[in-house]
């Protein structure tokens, strides 16, 4: 059946055993055929299928399935997700037992506990991971956390380490820069952070030394010289326009971004986000489900507020749980003309609109500013002319949008849907509403997530450190009866309290006492970016990092995740396990182990508040000894005027 599905996507041949045999679309050019073997080990990871029917970036018309694509109301999980969850839960059990056992909660038999409830789905812990936005800073810091949580990482299962948490999780969400991380891992077939970091000969994946303005340094798998980089992107985006679809600066941004994130020729223009659902490891349920998050901009406005409609992308669907849109579209067919929730009998079905780089770009439209305000002298005049023309059509206030036209929710839920009467769905960076950590998909009550590890790399302070702003925003939104739609969230103090009490400088648990929360809110383990071995507070708009600095920030993120390999608190792994088990203990009536009680005493926010204005700019001290990395750029003591001005303009 899997091979039939592959054949229907136009895949010529598949080898599951040869490291040098790559899945290729029919009609691949001689250059592509010559370049793919140069990717070496990373190519063997069998990335998300290059399944766009056009063979390139442009969407294309396809035969409609016998059951024509429809829009569904957001009153439940999709049938696809429900079926997938039955498979995923089986795959999380053994990794969860292994992980909990290694976390070593004193006087607690994790194996017996999980085996005793393994047939009771409602009693088992359900884990979600969320990686914030923040450009390359968020990608690298988040990568450190995911590397620490991944049992495939070297030494990640040793004493004091937390490897295996990723394998025990059900969901992984990313937004903007965190979305680049999640998107890159999944479009490269759930690659490990180590594999993406180390790359292979001829690949430009995670090579950030050449900025996005220059293009890849090598001419291996990418084939391109720097001189051809922009013209190739221009041609690819032009093919979408020639096919009759609107294009925006986000198309160019997403294409450029893909060269660094997708290990395929020209950044994989034929790879779609929905093709993740076709990968064998996802179909089997052996890996978590990924989400990316974006905000909708209401028609005729230039402001994204906290009550704006939030959209999620998952491999099956695009849509929103909010009571405004309250609908989901099958992501594979989002380029089709839906009318009142269905592709009409005389209408055509379209695939390929959900190109992977475009989806990642949609979640990070804030970085269109890269192409508009930072180092614009590197952009060829022909491309500047295209941008000028786009902005003339859209208006300067719309330089941060992604155009999803046709709007799949046109004519659907007319009474509440703010976009029901617009032909275009306008989506923007998922952090523009202040919720820079992608908690939205994970707090939906239908998913029953028990614990969320929230990795925060936000630039909330003068020197690009987080101060809890994103958690505050999500908490405030959960109190808004017009938009919360059944979601619950733990109480969160104000930003000044975060700084004054050091909650933004170490892990903190929110929502430890479920009985004090209205509704089924998860326990949130807040893990803020902090300096352990290097200053990881690089600017959101810094476009390039050599390998040394990249590796240092990833390693710093690893130290954040493990509290310096347990040296700052030997109980930290056990405390993480206690957080995972907390809601399950509530449901089963299990007496909380003494060590967990100690952990909750140490890490749970106790309700104290200190809202006084902190003195001076927040500058955290190193948690452990700063390591000098030869060749790494030193982070400036103050933000540059240019970046500060751009950040202020964009409400960073």
Average pLDDT on 270-294 reads: 97
Structure tokens of 622? 């190193």
Are 267 and 255 in contact by the 8 Å Cβ rule? The answer is: yes
Average pLDDT on 502-526 reads: 90
Pick the closest to residue 411 from 329, 531, 289 (CA basis).
Answer: 329
Given this model, what pLDDT does residue 350 score? Answer: 98
583, burial (CB in 10 Å: exposed 0-12, middle 13-18, buried 19+)? buried
Lowest mean pLDDT: which of 109-118, 263-272, 507-516?
Answer: 507-516
Given this model, what pLDDT does residue 201 score? Answer: 75
Burial 475-505 (b: 16+ CB within 10 A, else e): bbbbeeeebbbebbbbebbebbbbbbbebbb
Are 96 and 577 in contact by the 8 Å Cβ rule? The answer is: no
- On the question of pLDDT at 40 being above 60, the answer is no
Given this model, what pLDDT does residue 387 score? Answer: 57
Lowest mean pLDDT: which of 6-10, 67-71, 199-203, 590-594?
Answer: 6-10
Given this model, what pLDDT does residue 252 score? Answer: 87
Quick one: which H or E segment has residue 472? helix 469-478
Q: In sequence order, what E strands does 331-456 have?
A: 349-351, 402-404, 425-429, 451-456
Place of tokens 């030193």: 634
Place of tokens 């702003």: 469
Given this model, what pLDDT does residue 226 score? Answer: 54
Average pLDDT on 332-355 reads: 95
Quick one: which H or E segment has residue 127? strand 127-131
| pLDDT tens digits, one per residue of 221-269 | 544 555 578 888 889 999 999 999 998 889 988 998 999 999 998 999 9
3-state helix, strand, coil in the chain (%, to 5): 40, 10, 50
| 21 confidence band (pLDDT: 50, 70, 90) | very low
Rounded to whole angstroms, how far apart are CA atoms 586 and 578? Answer: 12
Domain 2-649, classified CATH 2.40.70.10, yes or no: no
Structure tokens of 398? 């719309």
Q: Is the pTM of this model over 0.85?
A: yes
Structure tokens of 598? 């100690």
Pick the closest to residue 519 from 580, 474, 478 (CA basis).
Answer: 478
Residues of the chain with pLDDT > 70: what percent?
A: 81
Are 581 and 593 in contact by the 8 Å Cβ rule? The answer is: no
Average pLDDT on 514-530 reads: 87
384, burial (CB in 10 Å: exposed 0-12, middle 13-18, buried 19+)? middle
Rounded to whole angstroms, how far apart are CA atoms 249 and 388? Answer: 10
- On the question of pLDDT at 292 being above 80, the answer is yes
Are 171 and 291 in contact by the 8 Å Cβ rule? The answer is: yes
Structure tokens of 249? 């600066």
| 382 confidence band (pLDDT: 50, 70, 90) | low
- Distance, first Cα to last Cα, the chain: 48
SS3 state of residue 272: strand
The distance of Cα 107 from the centroid of its chain, to the nearest Å, equals 37
Quick one: which H or E segment has residue 277? none
Average pLDDT on 438-467 reads: 97
The distance of Cα 162 from the centroid of its chain, to the nearest Å, equals 21
Averaged confidence pLDDT in the chain? 85
Rounded to whole angstroms, how far apart are CA atoms 386 and 246? Answer: 13
**Long-range interactions of 117-122: CB distance < 8 A, separation 24+:** 117/584, 117/588, 118/93, 121/89, 122/448, 122/587
Structure tokens of 178? 């965190």
SS3 state of residue 523: strand
Are 268 and 256 in contact by the 8 Å Cβ rule? The answer is: no
| 381 confidence band (pLDDT: 50, 70, 90) | low
Given this model, what pLDDT does residue 17 score? Answer: 31
Given this model, what pLDDT does residue 190 score? Answer: 97
Pick the closest to residue 380 from 213, 258, 209 (CA basis).
Answer: 213
The distance of Cα 365 from the centroid of its chain, to the nearest Å, equals 14
Given this model, what pLDDT does residue 125 score? Answer: 98
Given this model, what pLDDT does residue 625 score? Answer: 82
- On the question of pLDDT at 13 being above 60, the answer is no
Contacts of 167 (CB under 8 A, 6+ apart): 92, 95, 99, 150, 151
Average pLDDT on 53-82 reads: 96
| pLDDT tens digits, one per residue of 307-342 | 899 999 999 999 999 999 999 999 999 999 998 899
Instruction: Tell me the residue length of the chain.
Output: 652
Quick one: which H or E segment has residue 172? strand 171-174
- On the question of pLDDT at 36 being above 50, the answer is no
Rounded to whole angstroms, how far apart are CA atoms 608 and 597? Answer: 19
Query: Which of 115-124, 293-302, 383-392 has the largest mean confidence?
Result: 115-124
Given this model, what pLDDT does residue 297 score? Answer: 83
| 219 confidence band (pLDDT: 50, 70, 90) | low
SS (H, E, C) 589-621: CCCCCHHHHHHHHHHECCCCCCCCCCCCCCCCC
- On the question of pLDDT at 290 being above 80, the answer is yes
List the chain domain ranges. 2-649
- On the question of pLDDT at 644 being above 50, the answer is no
Given this model, what pLDDT does residue 213 score? Answer: 75
Given this model, what pLDDT does residue 370 score? Answer: 55
């Amino acid at each position: 059946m899997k091979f039939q599905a592959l054949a229907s996507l136009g895949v010529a041949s598949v080898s599951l055993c040869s490291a040098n045999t790559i899945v290729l679309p029919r009609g691949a050019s001689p250059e592509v055929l010559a370049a793919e073997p140069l990717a070496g080990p990373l190519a063997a990871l069998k990335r998300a299928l290059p399944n766009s029917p056009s063979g390139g970036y442009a969407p294309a018309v396809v035969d409609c399935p016998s059951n024509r694509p429809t829009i569904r109301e957001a009153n439940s999980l999709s049938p696809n997700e429900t079926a997938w969850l039955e498979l995923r839960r089986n795959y999380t059990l053994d990794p969860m037992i292994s992980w909990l056992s290694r976390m070593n909660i004193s006087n607690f038999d994790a194996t017996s506990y999980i085996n005793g409830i393994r047939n009771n789905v409602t009693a088992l812990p359900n884990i979600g991971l969320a990686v914030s936005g923040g450009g390359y800073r968020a990608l690298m810091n988040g990568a450190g956390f995911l590397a620490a949580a991944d049992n495939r990482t070297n030494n990640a299962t040793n004493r004091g380490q937390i490897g295996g948490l990723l394998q025990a999780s059900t969901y992984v969400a990313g937004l903007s820069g965190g979305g680049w991380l999640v998107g890159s891992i999944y479009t490269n077939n759930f690659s490990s952070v180590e594999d993406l970091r180390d790359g292979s000969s001829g690949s430009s994946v995670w090579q950030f030394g050449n900025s996005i303005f220059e293009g890849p340094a090598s001419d291996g798998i990418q084939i391109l010289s720097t001189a051809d980089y922009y013209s190739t992107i221009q041609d690819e985006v032009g093919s979408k326009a020639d096919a009759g679809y609107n294009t925006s600066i986000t198309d160019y941004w997403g294409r450029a971004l893909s060269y660094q994130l997708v290990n395929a020729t020209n950044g994989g223009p034929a790879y779609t986000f929905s093709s993740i659902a076709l990968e064998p490891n996802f179909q089997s349920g052996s890996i978590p489900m990924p989400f990316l998050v974006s905000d909708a901009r209401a028609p005729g406005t230039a402001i994204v507020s906290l009550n704006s409609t939030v959209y999620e992308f998952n491999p099956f669907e695009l849509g929103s749980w909010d009571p405004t849109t309250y609908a989901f579209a099958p992501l594979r067919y989002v380029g089709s003309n839906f009318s009142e929730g269905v592709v009409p009998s005389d209408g055509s079905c379209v695939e390929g609109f959900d190109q992977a780089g475009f989806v990642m770009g949609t979640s990070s439209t804030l970085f269109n500013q890269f192409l508009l305000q930072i180092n614009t002298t590197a952009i060829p005049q022909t491309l500047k002319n295209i941008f000028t023309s786009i902005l003339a059509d859209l208006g300067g206030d719309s330089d941060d949008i992604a155009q999803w036209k046709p709007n799949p929710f046109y004519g659907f839920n007319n009474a509440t849907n703010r976009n029901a009467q617009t032909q275009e769905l306008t989506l923007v960076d998922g952090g523009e509403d202040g919720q820079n950590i992608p908690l939205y998909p994970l707090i939906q009550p239908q998913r029953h997530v028990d614990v969320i590890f929230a990795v925060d790399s936000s630039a909330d302070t003068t020197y690009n450190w987080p101060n809890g702003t994103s958690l505050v925003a999500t908490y405030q939104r959960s109190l808004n009866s017009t938009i919360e739609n059944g979601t619950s969230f733990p109480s969160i103090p104000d930003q000044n309290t975060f700084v004054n009490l050091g909650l933004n400088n170490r892990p903190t648990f929110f929502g430890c006492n479920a009985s004090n929360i209205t509704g089924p809110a998860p326990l949130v383990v807040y893990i803020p970016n902090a300096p352990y071995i290097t200053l990881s507070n690089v600017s959101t708009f810094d476009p390039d990092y050599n390998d040394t600095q990249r590796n240092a920030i990833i390693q710093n993120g690893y130290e954040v995740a493990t509290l310096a390999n347990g040296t700052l608190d030997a109980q930290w792994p056990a405390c993480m396990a206690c957080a995972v088990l907390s809601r399950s203990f509530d449901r089963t009536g299990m007496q909380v182990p003494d060590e967990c009680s100690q952990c909750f005493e140490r890490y749970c926010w106790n309700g104290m508040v200190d809202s006084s204005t902190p003195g001076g700019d927040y500058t955290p001290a190193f948690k452990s000894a700063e390591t000098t990395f030869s060749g790494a750029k030193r982070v400036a003591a103050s933000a540059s005027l240019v970046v500060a001005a751009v950040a202020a303009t964009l409400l960073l």
